[in-house]
Amino acid sequence: MRRAALVAFAALAAPSAAHAACGVTATHVTGKAPVTVTLTAVCASTQYHWSFGDGQQADGQTVQHVYAAGVYRPTLTSDAGAEPAATVLSVALTLHAPARARYAHWVTLRASVIPRLPIVLRGRRFEHGKLHVRVLRTAPWVADAVGVKSKPARIVVVPKLVVRLVGSPIVGSPMRVRATLHPASAGTIVGPRVVDTRTARIARVTVRTRPAKGWAAVHESVARTITRPGLASGAQGPGVLQLERVLQDLHYTVQFDGVYGDDDIEAIYAFQKVEGLPRTGIVTPALWARLLHAHVPPARYAGSHIEVDKTRQVLFVVRGGKVALVVAASTGATGNTPLGLWHVYRKVTGFDWVLYYPNYFLRGFAVHGYPDVPPYPASHGCVRIPMWVATRVYTDIAVGTAVYVYL
């Protein structure tokens, strides 16, 4: 009886064995399109029929198929029945970048992928196929989708070249070319180091780069008018503008208008007074040379205040112990402008009799604007300064401001 039961069980079990899975092995099923996949059935069967999932079919225990971009689910039909093989992921990923971009500027990278998958680049994810990046190096850009890399996209980076001319554009004065490349690793700077100032002309300087790998070659040109140094009342043009720029850098009050007028003459007077030069109000080659090597004059006292130097006939507006403004002045013709430390006790906006924007520091003595400010003592005792600068000085002097008057 037991033997008969075993035979019956074996007969019942046989059909179930026929329906067991055959088993399928496959080579790498994820990669860059097109993906070639080899599929192998691991069971014994009278038939092996493969459906590759893309409309193509084949027979055989081992088959090979080339997949275009997409997601595919191949199946095997054998004596054991139908069963799925591993899903195939054939990825077509492209990345596009601008051919050129300026250093440190932002650009948009564009990527597309089949099938639809997340795309990342250096840890950042593309949104709707776009990614904004800042161009700081020349390394190729490579996108990634499930481990599949795009073809590298290269951007030629355009560095920033800054060229400046340092020095005075006056005939015979030294002038240097100062060029900087950002970043410095973008190449080698090629160009002149000095400007020829032997004649009056428009000097043009061009600086170029010899680019490093991945960087663009750039060039920059600058021009400067080289002018003759002699300037006097009525002169106009680049030479006057350069003079006014130099005077402003030295903190002498002057109007930047390119016309050698009263303001320029008074500023030159002030400079000549400070430097102990003859007070001519005329710019000569020798004076140009002196201007180009001059420094802002020092204050005598610390803190913020007004200083009036009767010997040199100048007024200093001092801030934090540094001279912020140098103004031509004219004190008492008889030497009666009082020496000492005083304080502003009264101010008048506009005219007070003939005094323009006066700042009174002792009885009727004041710092004020006046139409005539010669390069020598000429007032009744007040401190005259030019009319055009009187309002500016007025705003720099508050009630209580210290006024030092000394020889």
Average of per-residue pLDDT across 218-230:
87
Answer whether 282's CB lies under 8 Å from 231's CB. yes
Tell me: do 115 and 146 sit in the same domain.
yes
Answer whether 175's CB lies under 8 Å from 165's CB. yes
Is residue 125 predicted with pLDDT exceeding 90? yes
For the stretch 43-77, pLDDT in tens is 999 999 999 999 999 999 999 999 999 999 999 99
Is residue 15 predicted with pLDDT exceeding 50? no
Tell me: do 313 and 397 sit in the same domain.
yes
Please give the pLDDT value at position 227. 76
For residue 299, being part of any structural domain is answered with no
Average of per-residue pLDDT across 105-117:
97
Please give the pLDDT value at position 228. 72
Please give the pLDDT value at position 234. 87
H or E element in which residue 315 lies = strand 314-319
Average of per-residue pLDDT across 300-307:
98
Average of per-residue pLDDT across 286-307:
94
Average pLDDT, the chain: 92
Tell me, what amino acid is at 164?
Answer: R
Domain that holds residue 82: 20-86
Please give the pLDDT value at position 174. 87
Answer whether 229's CB lies under 8 Å from 170's CB. yes
Please give the pLDDT value at position 14. 35
Average of per-residue pLDDT across 328-337:
97
% of residues, the chain, pLDDT over 70: 95
pLDDT grade, residue 302 (50/70/90)? Answer: very high
Please give the pLDDT value at position 173. 80
Average of per-residue pLDDT across 271-280:
96
Q: Kindly give the pairing relationship between strand 305-309 and strand 402-406.
A: parallel
- What single DSSP character describes residue 200? S
Please give the pLDDT value at position 285. 81
Q: Left if phi > 0, otherwise alpha if psi is -120 to 50, otherwise beta: which for 106?
A: beta
> CA angle, corner 65, sides to 59 and 67, nearest 5?
140
Q: Kindly give the pairing relationship between strand 156-158 and strand 100-102.
A: parallel
pLDDT grade, residue 288 (50/70/90)? Answer: confident
Domain count, the chain: 5
Please give the pLDDT value at position 274. 97
Give me 229's structure tokens: 């140094």
For residue 5, being part of any structural domain is answered with no
pLDDT grade, residue 7 (50/70/90)? Answer: very low
Report the CATH number at residue 242: 1.10.101.10
In degrees and rounded to multiples of 5, residue 264 shows phi and psi of -70, -40
Tell me: do 309 and 347 sit in the same domain.
yes
Site of tokens 């106009």: 236
For residue 398, being part of any structural domain is answered with yes
pTM of the entire predicted model: 0.57
In degrees and rounded to multiples of 5, residue 243 shows phi and psi of -60, -45
Burial letters for 137-146: b for 16+ Cβ neighbours within 10 Å, e otherwise?
A: ebeebebbbe
What string of DSSP letters covers 118-157?
Answer: --EETTEE-BTTEEEEE----SPB--EETTEEPPPB--EE
Average of per-residue pLDDT across 133-160:
97
Report the CATH number at residue 332: 2.40.440.10
How many angstroms separate the Cα of 9 from the Cα of each of 21, 80, 326? Answer: 21, 20, 119
Name which residue leads in pLDDT, 366 or 15: 366
Report the CATH number at residue 71: 2.60.40.10
Tell me: do 181 and 135 sit in the same domain.
no
Give me 54's structure tokens: 């893309």
